[in-house]
Structure 1
Amino acid sequence: MGENETLVSAGGNDVNKKALWVANRDNPMLSDPSATLQIRDDGNLILLDRRQSPIIVNSGMIARSDNTSATLLDSGNLVLRRGDQVVWQSFDYPTDTFLLGMKIGEFDLTAEVPRNQLLVSWVNPENPLRGAFTLGVQSVDHKAATKLGVWRGYNDHMDISSWDGNNFVFIFKNLTNSFNFVYVSNENESYFTFTTIGKYDMSWLVISSIGHIDEYTMFNGSISLVSHSLCDKSIIGNSNVCMDSETSRCTDGDAFMPMNGTFPASMTADLLVVSVECEFLCKRNCSCIGFATFQDDLAWCQLYYGSKNDILNLMLKERNDTVYVRGFATYPTCTFDTNLCRKIVDQDQHLI
């Protein structure tokens, strides 16, 4: 196991390389290269961090026997078996990616609470925590769901495709001819799945952190990407509903710039959280000017609530760590040591 606990990743060049599934997205071990994936004595699949604290990967379907084995299939499906019986599989717990052979829909329809299998975006391209966008189906008046839709939060919604009884129709005009969608509906389940057709080796869809539908295709080992915005006025049946990420409420935006420095302890709050959650906590509070993460035996998050100008001046005096400052930031003109300032700015010109 490595960074982001990525169990499956797409090949191709570095620009298009994208994690397809994350085992423990709600509590990822981002900075623990020693993390391992193994089958425990009781037959369950677990992740172990450096403290040897186990996280059960197949917690949605616990193994009842110690005679199990795990296999990563060519499709990207991680399967835990007991003999020929499937105990648990990652395809039943998708993250943000719709893979060949995966099912998106509603299951166990005769149960008191049916199970909804859907995609949830990442917070950002580097952070697998659950983001703002969901792709799935929704039943109406207890009838089988025949449409795929995207939700932003709990309210904003747009249908992006539907089943007309014979064909699967997307609202995007420039969708490639690499997908053959199939709709299955019976008393127990109602879902969509697909196969890859045409010249392509493989194809898949991703609900991105900004609400786009990213369409990936692979041909002869080379990966191509077409990103479909839900704000594009050219899409079929556009109702002027924009489903992209909302504009930031913060004056300096939601982007953070890496800089060398150290925050003054008198104006920070220290939290015991994983590094990916640190940025999320700062981003959602406009009073948070910057954040930093560090790790000893535990992972720490430092949030800064002071003045941006003050912190930029203070960082000139002590520059041992990397901190992240909200919005565009430059080192101020030096008044205390011109030679030192010129040397520092020259070294970090790429940050300005």
Structure 2
Amino acid sequence: MAMRYIPIFILLFLSSSCKSDDQLTHTKPLTLGDTLISNGGGFALGFFSPSSSNTSLYLGIWYHNIPGPITIVWVANRDNPILAPSSPVLAITNSSDLVLSDSQGRTPWAVKKNSTGAGATAVLLDEGNLVLRLPNGKITWQSFDHPTDTVLPKMRFLVSYKAKVAMRLVAWKGPDDPSSGDFSCSGDPSSPDLQFVTWNKTEPYCRLTVRSGKSVSGGTYLTNTSSVLYQTSVNSGDEFYVTYTISDNSTLMRLMIDYTGKLKYLSWNRHTSSWAIFGEHPYVPCELYASCGPFSYCDFTQITPACQCLDGFEPDDGVNFFSKGCYRQEALKCGKQSHFAPLSGMKVPDNFFHIRNRSLDECAAECSRNCSCTAYAYSDLSSAGAMADPSRCLVWSGELIDAGKSTSGENMYIRLANSPVNKKPTTEQILLPIIAFLLLLACIALVGIYKYKAGKWRKKKNQKKLMLGYFSTSKELEGNSTVPSVTFEDILSATNFFADSNLLGRGGFGKVYKGTFEGENVVAVKRLSQNSGQGTVEFRNEVVLIAKLQHKNLVRLLGCCIHGDEKLLIYEYLPNKSLDSYLFDFGMARIFGANQNQANTNRVVGTYGYMSPEYAMRGAFSVKSDTYSFGVLLLEIVSGLKISSPQLIANFSSLITYAWRLWEDEKATELVDCSVVASCPLHEVLRCIHVGLLCVQDHPNDRPLMSSVMNMIENENALLPTPKQPIYFAESNYEGAEARESMENSVNEMSITTLEGR
């Protein structure tokens, strides 16, 4: 501490009985105005006052051979000053005690060793150490064992003794107040032999790097252009201490904690006649204890050190201020698989648990078997010589706080969920795919124009454009808007020219074959019947249906092919039967061709319950007939029930009746199957019920087009009209029952064809 005041002996002009010896004896006490000066002239012991009024007097040691304001390195009575006009005296008693007293009879400081003999002397050594020495040379007390705010070269600073904090540096209360301040520095009581901490009262303020645990370790610091400071840490079992030496044996170096809480390494600059700082903690804001928050660290490898999230984490407040630390991108769960990601160059976090006598594998296993363990770090000390424990295993549970990263740090391993977690994409990672996609679109456009002008495959191209255009309206299918095309020749080769041995089944739409493509697993090839009246619209719907199932992870559309008037779909082969096995094996009616909007048939083809009323009753069909069938299917998926299910509540003859009653009573949630509730947002499910009831309305004109249905499902902002009562619910009286029985009898007389496969 460089002070802007002068010692009392100068105020007394040195003309009084001033002493300049390095020793104090029983017959020669130290009084106001006297000083002890070390043999080499480096240090002085005397009385000083930190204010111009000289109302408070302290006994202290300071540098003697440097110009300018004195620099105090030790204070005896820092919390018990001698108040003027009382005069201080430092004397050795007959029992060889060292006592500071005043003229009022007070004893603000004393060293009482209860020695049996007399003749002890107090000597100020060249290192700045005041010792109490017996005639036989034995030192019974020394100021180096009782530091205040400063550590000097060659001082043995005892960090811990028998796993308890031993010495502590305590800062001054202010720049001119030597009394004990709020800031201090010592070993951490929870692990005094592993880490050193500065404290603000009782709270950690700044934590230095955790030691490896070696019995002897050290480091070097360049204090100026010619001097090097050596730091040595020694762990002898019961004791852990640190010493500092300087290359040129100079004493003009010190380690001190100032009244602001900074731990500083200082060396004397002879050119500027001032103390120069060559190291301090904290030196950046993020070095303050836990300032980055949990699961974050102070990155000292940057030009301007700043907080960063640990791998697998991102800022909790959504920005880079790190006011709340970081949170996991994917949460850990006990019983779920996880892995440990290595982090190099780390100042390991605080609040660790030290497990002794473990190998690296055993240390990792200790953390792996405990699902609350979030990280571990290990040091191999076997090369450090004979030690009782040749290892240092640290493990953490819960939050990781006050970590750092530097070029001299160590490896630690952090626990992450097994799914790979990507960091937040950079600007380059975002722009490059966009540019590549735009270039790809440009190339596709050029190729398309070339093919169009050449006039080749115009019909095939137009049919593909219709299909892909339909896909482009679906937000869910934006990423799959280009269904891969497969050549007819490849399909012939895969199915062995549609051999009967590869036939999986047949239905109203055509045959389904098993095929194997090069580089692909087994797939199913649906060959739509030629000249069946199946039009482009229905083919598009077929693609959409399979693609929607793909989105729900039920089946995966792999490609398509149009060969003349023949349409083929290639989709995922389902070895455990096809989807229709789980959706009650229904069949859709093959209704009309591409040039028809509505028509009448003499023969009803389809599955009862899925056919619209106008088709089942009168054989009339239109584009709205498929809408009805889709509505039935949608209600079945949501409820997990068949259109006519024995699981339905009594008095309800069909699923449509049951669904309408719950909807009208505002109890639609009771319709939802429990497995759907667990996996889907409830508002989306209720929207599907609403759309389903719109699709099964009695009159075709009330039903939406399938394009509108898709928009209703995909766009949550789309307004939905109120559905009307379906016909089966309206006919609840006796007459309605008779009409329904008559209708069912007439339908039973029709020929109902059910698809064998789908």
- TM (norm. structure 2) is 0.28
The reply to whether residue 2 of structure 1 matches residue 47 of structure 2 is yes
Q: Is the 8 A contact 1:151 1:158 kept in 2?
A: yes
CA distance in 2, matches of 1:95, 1:193: 16
Secondary structure of 2:284's counterpart equals: coil
CA distance in 1, matches of 2:102, 2:202: 34
Partner of 1:289: none
Structure 2 counterpart of 1:84, from 134, 137, 141 = 137
Q: Is the 8 A contact 1:77 1:89 kept in 2?
A: yes
RMSD of aligned residue pairs (Cα, Å): 3.5
Partner amino acid, structure 1, of 2:282: L
CA distance in 2, matches of 1:68, 1:174: 40
Distance 1:236 1:128, change over 3 A: closer
Partner of 1:118: 168
Distance 1:92 1:35, change over 3 A: same
Structure 2 counterpart of 1:182, from 232, 255, 273 = 232
Report the alpha carbon displacement of residue 104 of structure 1 after superposing the two structures with TM.
2.6
Distance 1:157 1:211, change over 3 A: closer
Gaps of 5+ in 2: 1-45, 49-56, 299-758
Q: Is the 8 A contact 1:149 1:160 kept in 2?
A: yes
Secondary structure of 2:144's counterpart equals: helix
Secondary structure of 2:166's counterpart equals: strand
Partner of 1:127: 177
Aligned length: 233
Report the alpha carbon displacement of residue 184 of structure 1 after superposing the two structures with TM.
1.1
Q: Per-residue CA shift, 1:182-237, capped at 9, x if unaligned?
A: 11112331111111125955311110011122332135594423273525148699
Partner of 2:468: none
Q: Per-residue CA shift, 1:229-283, capped at 9, x if unaligned?
A: 52514869995489xxxxxxxxxxxxxxxxxxxxxxxxxxxxxxxxxxxxxxxxx
Partner amino acid, structure 2, of 1:79: V
Partner of 1:275: none
Report the alpha carbon displacement of residue 139 of structure 1 after superposing the two structures with TM.
5.0
Gaps of 5+ in 1: 243-352
Partner of 1:103: 156
Distance 1:56 1:152, change over 3 A: closer
Q: Is the 8 A contact 1:104 1:136 kept in 2?
A: no
Partner of 1:192: 242
Which structure carries more helix by proportion? 2
Partner amino acid, structure 1, of 2:193: A
Partner of 1:230: 282
Partner of 1:73: 125
CA distance in 2, matches of 1:13, 1:197: 23
Q: Is the 8 A contact 1:120 1:133 kept in 2?
A: yes
Partner of 1:13: 67
Partner of 2:389: none
1:157-176 to structure 2, matched below 5 A, reads 157-164=205-212, 165=214, 168=218
Partner of 1:154: 202
Q: Is the 8 A contact 1:122 1:208 kept in 2?
A: yes
Larger Rg: 2
CA distance in 1, matches of 2:109, 2:142: 13
Relative contact order: is structure 1 or structure 2 higher (C-alpha 8 Å, sep ≥ 6)? 1
CA distance in 2, matches of 1:157, 1:100: 25
Secondary structure of 1:131's counterpart equals: strand
The reply to whether residue 28 of structure 1 matches residue 81 of structure 2 is yes
Q: Percent identity?
A: 24
Report the alpha carbon displacement of residue 18 of structure 1 after superposing the two structures with TM.
1.7
Q: Per-residue CA shift, 1:168-194, capped at 9, x if unaligned?
A: 469xx9976642111111233111111
1:137-152 to structure 2, matched below 5 A, reads 137-138=187-188, 140=190, 145-152=193-200
Structure 1 counterpart of 2:103, from 16, 39, 50 = 50
The reply to whether residue 208 of structure 1 matches residue 258 of structure 2 is yes
Q: Is the 8 A contact 1:162 1:169 kept in 2?
A: no
CA distance in 1, matches of 2:140, 2:256: 26
Partner amino acid, structure 2, of 1:7: G
Secondary structure of 1:91's counterpart equals: helix
Partner amino acid, structure 1, of 2:127: S
Q: Is the 8 A contact 1:44 1:66 kept in 2?
A: no
Distance 1:174 1:145, change over 3 A: same
CA distance in 2, matches of 1:223, 1:33: 34
Report the alpha carbon displacement of residue 107 of structure 1 after superposing the two structures with TM.
4.8
Partner of 1:329: none
CA distance in 2, matches of 1:104, 1:149: 14
Distance 1:209 1:62, change over 3 A: farther
- TM (norm. structure 1) is 0.57
Partner amino acid, structure 2, of 1:230: P
CA distance in 1, matches of 2:143, 2:290: 34
CA distance in 1, matches of 2:139, 2:110: 15
